[in-house]
């Protein structure tokens, strides 16, 4: 499979198939439990979009979660760390990324207590690397570009048992390195 701008070229023994894509969406953490559902939804619902699944494949990632879409012409998997800014810049350029759905994160609360640095590295610096790659690649032309960052509700702390709900105005009150990062 070759990629050229918004076109994927699949070679087989008998013919060459060309796929033009309207959008190129990068989904990070797409081999995890939540991310694999998002990737599958986008691959199946938007065949006119190329979905680039970027995942480091740590303890939380498993490509078997995506075996049903692995051979779809609008699906690409890239094994990479979101902290690798140089590679992210290459990917933004290679695939002409229009949008990012950032789901990748270290998210195991107990592990965040024993390995705080890894959580801060991935969750803070990895997010910063993605934002920087988008900023540099999009070069001020943000029309038609989207960047979604999905994170935990744990940043708000714990709710009382009095029917109170979190809102956009709720102040952050993290209780672990995971929710703080």
Residues annotated as catalytic are: 153-154, 178
DSSP assignment, residue 121?
A: I
Residue 25 DSSP SS3: strand
Residue 83 DSSP SS3: coil
3 close to 74: Cβ distance less than 8 angstroms: no
Distance CA 84, CA 133 (A): 10
CA distances from 172 to 150, 160, 163 (A): 15, 15, 18
């Amino acid at each position: 499979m070759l990629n050229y701008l918004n076109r994927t070229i699949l070679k087989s023994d008998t013919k060459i198939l060309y796929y033009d894509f309207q959008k190129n969406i990068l989904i990070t953490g797409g081999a995890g439990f939540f991310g694999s559902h998002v990737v599958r939804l986008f691959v199946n619902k938007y065949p006119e979009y190329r979905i680039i699944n970027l995942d480091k494949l740590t303890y939380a990632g498993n490509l078997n979660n995506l075996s049903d879409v692995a051979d779809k012409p609008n699906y690409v998997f890239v094994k990479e760390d979101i902290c690798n800014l140089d590679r992210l810049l290459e990917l933004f350029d290679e695939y002409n990324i229009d949008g990012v759905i950032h789901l990748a994160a270290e998210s195991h609360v107990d592990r965040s207590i024993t390995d705080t640095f890894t959580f801060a590295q991935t969750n803070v610096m990895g997010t910063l690397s993605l934002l920087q790659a988008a900023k540099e690649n999009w070069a001020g032309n943000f029309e038609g570009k989207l960047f979604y960052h999905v994170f935990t509700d744990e940043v708000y702390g714990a709710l009382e048992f009095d029917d109170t709900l979190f809102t956009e105005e709720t102040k952050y009150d993290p209780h672990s390195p995971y929710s703080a990062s």
